[in-house]
Amino acid sequence: MLITDDFLPVPVPESLSATYLVPMRGLPRVGPKAAVRGLAGRLAEPVHGLATQMLDSPLMNVDTRSIGEFPELPPDLLAAFGASESQLDRLAAATHLVVVQAEYRPGWPPAHEWAARAVAAAVAESSGGDVVDVFGLQFLDPAAALRSLPDAQGRVRLVDWVLVPYSSDSDGLWFTTKGLRRFGLLELQTQGVPDHLTRAWGAVMTGAARRLLREWTDGLAGEEVPAFVQLPVLATVTGHDIAVAYGNPEQHGATAPVLLRLELDPATDPEADSFLSLRPPPGHPGPAGRYFAAACATLFAGIQPDVRYARTGDAMSRAIATARASLADVRARFVAGALPPESQLVVKYGLPGDDGPEYVWAGVTSWDSPERITGASASDAAGDPSVRIGSPVVVEAADVVDWAVLDRTGVIEGGWTQAVLDAGEPPT
């Protein structure tokens, strides 16, 4: 094994396993094989065939147990990871659990995860129940579980498989991933992230996870599972990595890349997890938080990933009027393909909120009707949990207050309201 200063050898586990639960009252009325057959035509290949084959092999086990035979699932943690009251109520009323477990070698595809989730979703759908992802401690309704599986082109959204929780300490925010171990890779962590980068750094971590997971699975592509995979010490992350991880590869493709240094932080406690830490590259002056802020500014060039609320005033009113007056023209150029090469059109629009509208940006993907814009959100909305970075959105043109054309250097046209905000106009 070649070890150099440019690469970090990361150990590979011998095998990987996945466990999913389907809580229900009474015994299942439909067996797992019949339930999976019912997904024919709805579940893309190779996942449907993979689930069918693994059901007939020793690599998968499906068992129905009395709920008392399984360790209690912690309701507080399930709630923290998004479980609803109705899901927790159904779990409390359940008498049995269908336990789906699968095992497979590290590499791509992650057959253990895809097949086990598909079988659990099929069983849950046939019984009107829920799926519990034991690794992520998450409830999934069957439809969401099926949507997370690869489409006909083999594409998946990494955000359906990897979470990025964070907590606060005296040095700032501590981010970790939760989900890379599904694929055999150590989880990532970043410490000392400034508080105002909550949403932005979560997206950067997701993009970094996507890039490193690709390097990881490329290193596992041979017939034999290696003992180590060499990962680059300097990891490159681009806006495209973030967009692909969120399922919108057409977004953020024009941003410049940033470098992050990868270090192995082994656990001192045998029961604890080791991490791959993301740090500034060598030679960066000043605190790490300053570099993380600069990285976010680069990856989200020209648009603020954090929430910004419009402020009243003459300058802001003029900016909005200027943007709206030229909206029809920029649409005509977008539809005609007349915008600069390798550029991206984004629009800023208002979401209703208790304290007034919240203004967020979205990348434009199509604009067939003058009244309606289809796009992908460029930031997470504070007041609407369905609006996340990369999520599809439909914007009424009447709600647009600004637009901008971006390239890898940032805003090259438009962005009038952003200029007012960046100038710090006081509210009136």
Q: How far separated are the first and last CA of the chain, in Å rounded?
A: 65
The alpha carbon of residue 342 and the mean position of all alpha carbons in its chain are separated, in whole angstroms, by 24
CA 244 – CA 359 distance, rounded (Å) = 24
Q: Which two tokens stand for residue 281?
A: 């590259």
CA 396 – CA 245 distance, rounded (Å) = 26
pLDDT at 427: 33
pLDDT at 170: 78
Task: List pLDDT tens digits, range 147-171.
Answer: 999 988 888 999 999 999 888 877 8
The H-assigned helical ranges of 176-277 are 198-219, 239-245
Indicate the range of 2-11, 65-74, 133-142 predicted with least confidence.
Answer: 2-11
The torsion defined by the Cα of 184, 185, 187 and 190, in degrees rounded to 10, comes to 180
Of residues 252 and 393, which shows the higher confidence score?
393
| pLDDT of 68 above 80 | yes
Task: List pLDDT tens digits, range 196-232.
Answer: 788 889 989 999 999 999 999 999 998 899 999 999 9
Mean pLDDT, range 4-20, rounded to an integer: 90
pTM: 0.71
| 193 to 166, 167, 171, 292, 377: CA distances (angstroms) | 10, 10, 8, 7, 23
Cβ distance 258 to 205 under 8 Å?
no
Q: φ and ψ at 330, to 5 degrees?
A: -70, -30
Of residues 152 and 279, which shows the higher confidence score?
279
Indicate the range of 111-115, 223-227, 360-364 predicted with least confidence.
Answer: 360-364
Model confidence band, residue 172 (pLDDT cutoffs 50, 70, 90):
confident
Mean pLDDT, range 356-370, rounded to an integer: 85
Mean pLDDT, range 350-356, rounded to an integer: 71
pLDDT at 101: 97
Mean pLDDT, range 24-52, rounded to an integer: 92
Cβ distance 370 to 423 under 8 Å?
no
Indicate the range of 60-69, 107-116, 326-335, 387-396 predicted with least confidence.
Answer: 387-396
pLDDT at 309: 39
DSSP 8-state symbol, 13: -
pLDDT at 24: 95
CA 145 – CA 20 distance, rounded (Å) = 11
| pLDDT of 3 above 80 | no
For residue 364, which of 342, 345, 341, 391 has the smallest C-alpha distance? 345
Model confidence band, residue 247 (pLDDT cutoffs 50, 70, 90):
confident
Model confidence band, residue 122 (pLDDT cutoffs 50, 70, 90):
very high
| pLDDT of 315 above 80 | no
Q: Which two tokens stand for residue 176?
A: 């970790």
Task: List pLDDT tens digits, range 174-206.
Answer: 999 999 999 999 999 999 998 878 888 998 999
Mean pLDDT, range 277-289, rounded to an integer: 90
| pLDDT of 251 above 60 | no
Q: Which two tokens stand for residue 162?
A: 């990897």
| pLDDT of 393 above 50 | yes
Residue 380 one-letter amino acid: D
Model confidence band, residue 86 (pLDDT cutoffs 50, 70, 90):
very high
Mean pLDDT, range 330-335, rounded to an integer: 93
Of residues 377 and 104, which shows the higher confidence score?
104
> Which of the listed ranges 308-317, 368-377, 378-387 does the model predict with the highest average pLDDT?
368-377
**High-pLDDT (> 90) share of the chain, %:** 51
CA 185 – CA 229 distance, rounded (Å) = 10
Q: Is the peptide bond before 282 cis (omega within 30 degrees of 0)?
A: no
The interaxial angle of helices 198-219 and 288-299, nearest 10 deg, is 80
Model confidence band, residue 356 (pLDDT cutoffs 50, 70, 90):
low
CA 211 – CA 213 distance, rounded (Å) = 6
